[in-house]
Structure 1
Amino acid sequence: MGLMMYFGMYTPTILAEEPVALNKGGHQWLMQQSQHFIVHFRSDWVQFAAHSLDIAEKVHQDLASQFSQMPTDKTHLILEDDEDSNNGNAIPIPSPHIHLSLHPPRNILNSEGNEKRLDSLIRHEYTHIVHMEFNDRAVTRARDIFGRQLLFFPHFLTPHFLREGLAIYIEKQGYYDSFFAMQMRMEVVSGQLADLSQVANQVVVDNSLLPAGIAYLYGAYFIDYLTKTYGEEAFQHFLTDYSGYLIPGFFLNRSARHAFGKDFFALWEEFRADLITQFSDQIAQSKEHSSGAQSLDSQPFSYLLANGESDQLLAWRNNYVDGGHLAMWDSEKNQWHYLSTINGLTSLDTHPQQGIVVSQKNQNQEEQKFNDLYRYVDGQWQSLTEQQRFTQVRWSLDGQSVFATRHKHGLPELWNVTLDGQQTRLWQGSFGWIIGDMALSPTGEIYASIQQPFSAWNIMRFEQKEQSWLAVTETSATEHQLSFIKEGELLFSADYNGHYQIYRMDLTSLQVEQLTNEVGGAFSPQWIASQGLIYQAYEHDGYHLRHIHAVTALNDVSLSSYATVNEASSAPISTTEKSEITEDSQLPTLTGQDWTSAWQSDDNQSLVIFEISGSDNLERHQYGIQAAWDTKNTLGSYQLDYAYEDLWQAILSREHEFNLNPLTNKEDRIVRQDNLTLKSDYSLHGIDDDLTFGVGTYWQKVSLIKSPQGTSSAQASDEWLAGTALQWDDKLGHYADLVWEQNVGGNYSGQKWQAQWMAHWNLPGSFSLSTHLAAGYADSKAKPFKLGGYEGDQIKLYGRHQLALSGYSYGAQVGQAYTTQSITLSHLIYRVNRNWDVWPIGFGAISGSVFINSGSSWNDNQRYQALTGVGAAVQIETIGFYFYQLPVIIGYNHGLDSQLGKDQVYIKLSAQF
């Protein structure tokens, strides 16, 4: 039995993700500077760039009055418009830089009350920079000597809820909108307020855990509690004190005691008690009246609903674990009728004659995530647009076209798209306008929820002749998610009383009636004659579908009570002094961002590994450098990766292979492999899948550098291949490729063909099933394939010759043809999702798996017997420094062949910084 220990990068059985670049379409990029910022932008975004600098300098001025320490280096702002959703991120290493999306939030609930969206986004992300730049005492001296290294940013290595909580608190200035408050209210209602170890463990946004964004939610309310209870000065004292410790994570409680007189555990218990008191009145008032709603769906999902003026309810249901699917509600059997599996939908509508139309987010060749329109007819999907970015869609009355909205380069647009692909723009708004949910009246008029600059979301009607929008409501509330009962009667969700409820409006008299009284919130109303009102209600565990058969008005709402506060006269943001616009230079930003240190050991070698990777600010150039030293055999290895603009990728590496020596029956023959791969890919994307065609070349030099039997170490062979590959990925867990390669030099000649298929299925009961099939054939004078070993070349596209077969040594079988197959059953044993108080160690999920694999390699004149191996493994997801995932895998493999089979016990741990 051999013991293998790995402490290094764990490579999953899926092909590596392609790099991402921001300069799509070969656009010219420019840059401009102000006192504290450098903005990078496309040549057609000059106005947005100048506006961003003005906002950023105003934000800097505001934050300078709130924080005791501000960054000394200029912060880079990178403007992006490569995704149909609002996003931003801030990174302090190697230099402080922020990525800002020009696209507004796809979901109104993520932007309510945000009259100045770009201001809010910059304020949030720049708060991260200010927070993470804090340094004092030993940390300051270390940065002066060693530069901007990860360990010298203590507030970067801090729990997620503290970083995001502070950014939300500063962004909203202590005012939390109705949706945010709803989430926390339902946490209190549940009686299951999260403890400190749960919130400190939330590494990233995990949609399978509720509430979504738990670190943001609890973090913001916690920071709010600290500042109100102990004062802003105490919180600034905490920030400064913690920023002086060189060992992150271990001194959080010490800094808390210095600043607040108590550790975080005691502060958290106080905070939870305060939440119960804070929300008790709201909860009591919400429970006073009942609307008689009944549950329609027992399981929590997130829904998109539509009915097409019919008696059937159509829904896209997504629980963020098993993926999304379209289904039709059978009111007679009270169950869902499955139609199609599909992910990434942002809009849904149905027509009695023309079927279903959806808007779905897809990823194109340049890795841009754009929405397009698709029609579902007779069980088949038909594409209506290609890379047109339409995020909302509604059928016209006659079903010969659809109305669709998009935001491109920050500007809102309304279009008409016919079924044969003709597109007509009906309206374009100015920067600052956002168009949300749409609804068509029974006479064909378009209504939408729209946010104008310095106002909330209001209901407006499109006047097609004038190509303009006419306000139906002008309130300070958020009114959205529109649908019609009949002509002149509109359903929508609004937060008039601070809680989202469903309302009915008479469009003639503008009389508004409240129809629901959910403690949480009510959304997405639909009217179906046989069911009455159907909507989704937010609960602690997610959204539940409900209906009210006999609908009665609970309250009348006077819209005048919620009149808009006129902010049009607000002072505009002052213009800051800026440099001349120059061509963007990315070379100064081409420094390392991610660092990896690792150790890997088994019976044959003991590797110390160091890796650095990075890119320029625009991600045109991306690279990775890995160096490893084998202390047992005094051998060095390396790998150099470089990618340019998503189009070309180059990989140069040196590695060592330990082959079975038939004379000693040990893996004591050391072979050095020098490899070079060059490749380029082109993808065609469809709904939920893509097809990629690529070309590439692969060169490998193999040298025998050690053999106890006296084999000359000078023996070597060269292989130089050029080929093409076809890859298919349905983005739902199925992948296949077909690779053809031709020897064009070296010691080999002839062709090689290889194919593989991988599939993954989620099963009931937290089980999953994975399969892998592979086969290959090489001409008699081509380099043969090797079968055996715990890891193989299946993640490679070109130059695959080592095929994994657990339970056997590398090179257990060698031949010109091969087949392998494996099946793995995995089960989620337990989801821990807890941190050890606020210490920098925690645990995520614990899962187990069992597998069986088999394979055979042979020549034309000789066929080997198939080899079979079985095994089991347990994976424990450990989390270091609050957000570094360190999966520990403990496994056992057994080869069933009596002569070639081996027992392998292994421990594998990966760590990336």
Structure 2
Amino acid sequence: MLRLFICLGCAMWFALPAWGYTPKDTALLKPTFSQKWLTLETEHFLIHYRNSHLSYAQRMAAVAEKVYARQTPRFDWQPADKVQVVISDSFDGSNGGATVLPYNQFFIFMSAPTKGELLDNSPWMEQVFTHEFVHILHLDQSSGTQTTLRTIFGRFFFVFPQIFSPAWVTEGMAVYEETDEQKRFGRGQSALYDAMMRAEYGNGFRSFTELSYQGSWGTDWPGSQSYLYGYYFFEFLTAQYGEEKAFEYLRNWNANIIPWRMQSRAKKVFGLSAESLWSEYVQYLDKKFAQEMAGLPQPDYTELVSTGRINSNPRWISEGDFYYYREDGRHHPALQRIDPTGAESEVAEIEKFIQVDVHPQAGVLLSRYAVCDNVNVYADLYRLNKKGRWDRITRCGRYPRIAWSHSAERIAAVHVNEGIAQIALLDPQGTLQQQFKPLAEGEVIGEINWSPDDSRLVAAVYRARGGWNLELLDLNTGHWSPLTNNTHLEQRPRFSADGKSVYFLSDQGNVWNLRRLILATGRIETVTRTQTAILDYSVEEASGRTRVAEYTANGVMLREQKIKPWGDTYAGLWQQRAPVESIENQPAFDARQFTDISDYSPLPTVLPTSWFAMLYADSEDNSLLQFYLAGQDVLGFHAWEFAPAYYLEKNELGGSASYVAYHRLALFAEREYDTIRASGNGVLGAWREETRFQALWMQPFNSFDGTFQVDLGAGHETVNRIIEDFGQFDSYSDNLGGISFNWSDYEYYVHSISPEDGRRIRLEYEEYNVFGGGFHKGGIVSLDWREYISLFDNHVLALRAVFGKGDSDAKPFQLGNEQDELQSLGGRIGFGYTGYTLRGYGDNEPRLAGNNLSLYSAEYRLPLRELFDGFSTFPVGLGKIGLTAFIDHGAAWEEGTSKSFYTGVGVELSPELLVGYSTFRIESTLGFAQGLDSELGESVVYLRLGAEF
């Protein structure tokens, strides 16, 4: 269960784009012990924050209690204990995450969104807090037998019935609750959500099973479809049956002993099967969005690109070259260029893209995510050099939004830190020249653009009372002045070439279109047409054209339109408008009253919250009763597991224990008993007692270009053979210490079935008998190099070479078996690793063992299909399906003897099994291997399984 909790925690914290190379360090984005952490306690929450974030934490405390008072009656549920909340400034992006295991907890990144689905006139803190707290209220619920079991066993995974909801139920309810149409809060009322669903209408709505199995694992566009369809599902239930029925649809699962009963859920509340209820839902969507489409004009455009998914950040420069960012899910994301003749070429690959700006003389300027201080992820600036490579010009600068000046002598950037935004001016080499007065806490600066004379900036700015509007910053005085003041969302402003107008995007009329503000009159005209949403643009005024990034059912596509005003003009600067109806704008809002502050202590959350027992018995006279306890503190500094076991026939105590500190130090201990010979018929029983201690220190050096990690490990094991009534008759002891150097930089794209475009390298040295008294002695050095070559359409050639050499008394290498075996001495820490795959051969053959090793492997991995669908009543489906053809060629030999190579060939079919809709993904491999040596070779059929949560 500890491993489950850690897995959930990592998924919760990791908010970076999922595609491309990312370090595997579990400390990435997490709190660090070197920082001073405090806890602010309220009536219903414990808010953990760094000492410099006091005012933010107090504001959150005031918002939290208001959200609690609003949401708990709606769910008719109150958490039994105070909810743990972590405020994080480790990421220059906007996200949050919640889990109810091992206790109710969620985190929030301080940086507010400036684009995409999360863009809203509600304050980021209120929006994200509502969404994540709704997850807690939903997933924490139970009743009947499940509540009784929770009282006995505590917060054990299977006594949380709502965890087994498909992702669209969980996320849909959270989006439904964050949405307030009257206040224009939340994704459910947004013009973008309407646009996304209009695109789905044109493409055909998804079935119940398609959406349920896409869940967290699917590769289909859009990636957020669980949120999208989930919200409209609860909107449909409310419109068709009333809101109380929508909440009853949630609550009727609270007593479920058997998970995933979606048929029962629908029948109990609505008297319909899950598919019939979904059919009604699709009819509702058809009617709603057919009416919307009928009211929208048909745009006239020219398609610029044929590849779907994400084509964004269009930049059309004066010489006629056109640049854009492309991420198609099959290749490395890249900056593309289309020249005036229409010829397209790749300019450079891009890691962790945020924004690009292009200047005719100064070239390409990039803002992208970079790892800072080894665990934080901040926005830094890069320039493209003449060799087509990126030169980093800032270090931990935190500049997510950028713009070249027209003179190319300065860079304007939005600087973010601890939830505070301000404008910074830098020289072309990235040196900071000037910073302007920061905005107030909770206020945000979106994209920026220079005036033609480089004296002013225009920006999209979020103000606490006015929401998103356009403002001008005078660079001589530092004074902000409003260009607009209305209830629309207004983004991505850019001056016209003559400086008399400002182009921008807004959701006026509930459709995201390109607008033009005439500065002399203050009037705004709409200059594009769309049936979905225009998300970005670049204007060529000389020809009267614009190239836009437009949302479609296949992704964000680039299209060219003529700039042509249509519809009525309107005033952008309203004389009167009500303030945003947020919690913080209410007269009674008072954050300063929350002063119950103490130093952070891990003890309250590191204690166990559950226990469970397992009775095991087999036909080999092995039976045991084992208890499991685990815990981890909310900041992730300490995690532990204790699993004592009582061996019934042997009348002995064993079990295991582990402790992980600060994601770096891992300690393990275990004792187990295994029957050698069962007693009976006058024969005395015999068994083996195995005791192991292992320690590992992990020190990664993280980067999105690749991670270098040094591991230090030590292990000790003792194996005693015991005869019933006589005691110990034989003993074996071994120990080692080791160091390994690891490099990884492989990519993984949306449609990948395997790592691509990179490598994993491990160089290791181990010394046996470092503590004395060991059976094996001497050193072993080994090199394991895995290379992944991307071919086409996510086909991969995977190559592996392993070389090893050990002293004569060290533990020998062993070839054979269908998967690499971590030997028991250092298995849990990755050392003592002497068993290597040679498929088509047994795993204990003496002729495949020795103190020297050479192993070569080649695999051709090809994707067959992406299904992400399955059964509705019996919740099992298939995700990606891949096929691998392989050849292994290896030899192990003693020093001074001849070496003989053995070869095995075979195929592996690897379907992803999706169990419980979107709950579990089991990576399965069904293989056939044939050893080609006539004497040692075997024909083997094998199955490997592994699960993800």
Q: TM-score range by the shorter chain?
A: 0.7 to 0.9
Cα distance in 2 between the residues matched to 1:184 and 1:856: 58
8 Å CA contact retained: 2:112, 2:444: yes
Whether 2:745 is the aligned partner of 1:737: answer: no
Instruction: Tell me the residue number matched to 2:194.
Output: 181
- What pairs up with 1:846-857 in 2 under 5 angstroms? 846-857=881-892
8 Å CA contact retained: 2:910, 2:925: yes
Instruction: Tell me the residue number matched to 1:574.
Output: 589
Instruction: Tell me the residue number matched to 1:520.
Output: 532
8 Å CA contact retained: 2:42, 2:596: no
- What pairs up with 1:91-490 in 2 under 5 angstroms? 91-105=99-113, 107-173=114-180, 175-190=188-203, 192-204=204-216, 206=218, 208-250=219-261, 252-286=262-296, 288-290=297-299, 292-302=300-310, 303-332=312-341, 334-364=342-372, 366-378=374-386, 379-423=388-432, 424-444=434-454, 445-488=456-499, 489-490=501-502
Cα distance in 1 between the residues matched to 2:502 and 2:511: 19
Instruction: Tell me the residue number matched to 2:817.
Output: 789
Displacement after TM superposition at 1:295 (Å): 0.2
8 Å CA contact retained: 1:597, 1:912: no
8 Å CA contact retained: 1:482, 1:524: no
Cα distance in 2 between the residues matched to 1:14 and 1:438: 29
Deviates more, 1:214-223 or 1:18-27: 18-27
Provide Cα deviations, 1:19-64, integer angstroms capped at 9, x if missing partner: 4573326112121222221211222222222221211111111113
Give the TM-score taking structure 2 as reference length. Answer: 0.84
Structure 1 residues 610 and 187: CA distance shift in structure 2, 3 A: farther
Displacement after TM superposition at 1:546 (Å): 0.9
Instruction: Tell me the residue number matched to 1:723.
Output: 739
Instruction: Tell me the residue number matched to 1:777.
Output: 805
Cα distance in 2 between the residues matched to 1:826 and 1:593: 43
Structure 1 residues 559 and 14: CA distance shift in structure 2, 3 A: closer
Structure 1 residues 730 and 236: CA distance shift in structure 2, 3 A: closer
The counterpart of 1:680, out of the listed 668, 684, 698, is 698
Structure 1 residues 257 and 803: CA distance shift in structure 2, 3 A: closer
Instruction: Provide structure 1 residue ranges, at least 5 long, that are not aligned to the other structure.
Output: 1-8, 660-668
1:547 maps to a residue whose letter is E
Give the TM-score taking structure 1 as reference length. Answer: 0.87
Structure 1 residues 185 and 572: CA distance shift in structure 2, 3 A: farther
Cα distance in 1 between the residues matched to 2:614 and 2:865: 27
Structure 1 residues 593 and 409: CA distance shift in structure 2, 3 A: farther
Question: Percent of counterpart pairs with the same letter?
Answer: 22
Cα distance in 2 between the residues matched to 1:456 and 1:45: 23
Whether 2:511 is the aligned partner of 1:499: answer: yes
Provide Cα deviations, 1:766-787, integer angstroms capped at 9, x if missing partner: 5333222222333445443322
Displacement after TM superposition at 1:433 (Å): 0.8
Cα distance in 2 between the residues matched to 1:817 and 1:530: 71
Structure 1 residues 321 and 502: CA distance shift in structure 2, 3 A: same
The counterpart of 2:639, out of the listed 618, 622, 644, is 622
8 Å CA contact retained: 1:593, 1:614: yes
8 Å CA contact retained: 1:372, 1:386: yes
Provide Cα deviations, 1:232-256, integer angstroms capped at 9, x if missing partner: 2223333333212222222x43343
Structure 1 residues 464 and 643: CA distance shift in structure 2, 3 A: farther
- What pairs up with 1:685-700 in 2 under 5 angstroms? 685=703, 688-700=704-716
Displacement after TM superposition at 1:728 (Å): 4.3
The counterpart of 1:802, out of the listed 830, 835, 857, is 835
Larger relative contact order (CA 8 Å, sep ≥ 6)? 1
Displacement after TM superposition at 1:506 (Å): 3.4
Instruction: Tell me the residue number matched to 2:679.
Output: none
SS of equivalent residue, structure 1 residue 86: coil
8 Å CA contact retained: 2:380, 2:394: yes
- What pairs up with 1:573-612 in 2 under 5 angstroms? 574-575=589-590, 578=594, 580-590=596-606
SS of equivalent residue, structure 2 residue 819: coil
2:267 maps to a residue whose letter is R
Displacement after TM superposition at 1:294 (Å): 0.3
Cα distance in 1 between the residues matched to 2:651 and 2:796: 42
1:756 maps to a residue whose letter is D
Provide Cα deviations, 1:650-673, integer angstroms capped at 9, x if missing partner: 3456799999xxxxxxxxx99968
Displacement after TM superposition at 1:595 (Å): 10
Equivalenced residues, count: 880
Instruction: Tell me the residue number matched to 1:868.
Output: 903
Deviates more, 1:809-818 or 1:518-527: 809-818
Structure 1 residues 808 and 201: CA distance shift in structure 2, 3 A: same
Deviates more, 1:476-485 or 1:31-40: 476-485
Whether 2:564 is the aligned partner of 1:552: answer: yes
- What pairs up with 1:879-898 in 2 under 5 angstroms? 879-882=914-917, 883-898=919-934
Instruction: Tell me the residue number matched to 1:832.
Output: 867
SS of equivalent residue, structure 1 residue 66: helix
Structure 1 residues 428 and 477: CA distance shift in structure 2, 3 A: same
Structure 1 residues 242 and 511: CA distance shift in structure 2, 3 A: same
Structure 1 residues 15 and 188: CA distance shift in structure 2, 3 A: closer
2:63 maps to a residue whose letter is I
Provide Cα deviations, 1:119-159, integer angstroms capped at 9, x if missing partner: 11111111111112222222222222322222222122112
SS of equivalent residue, structure 1 residue 689: coil
Q: CA RMSD in A?
A: 3.8
Deviates more, 1:747-756 or 1:356-365: 747-756
8 Å CA contact retained: 2:818, 2:840: yes
Cα distance in 2 between the residues matched to 1:202 and 1:80: 29
The counterpart of 2:34, out of the listed 19, 26, 34, is 26
Instruction: Tell me the residue number matched to 2:784.
Output: 756
Structure 1 residues 14 and 102: CA distance shift in structure 2, 3 A: closer
Instruction: Provide structure 2 residue ranges, at least 5 long, that are not aligned to the other structure.
Output: 1-6, 8-20, 182-187, 677-686, 748-756
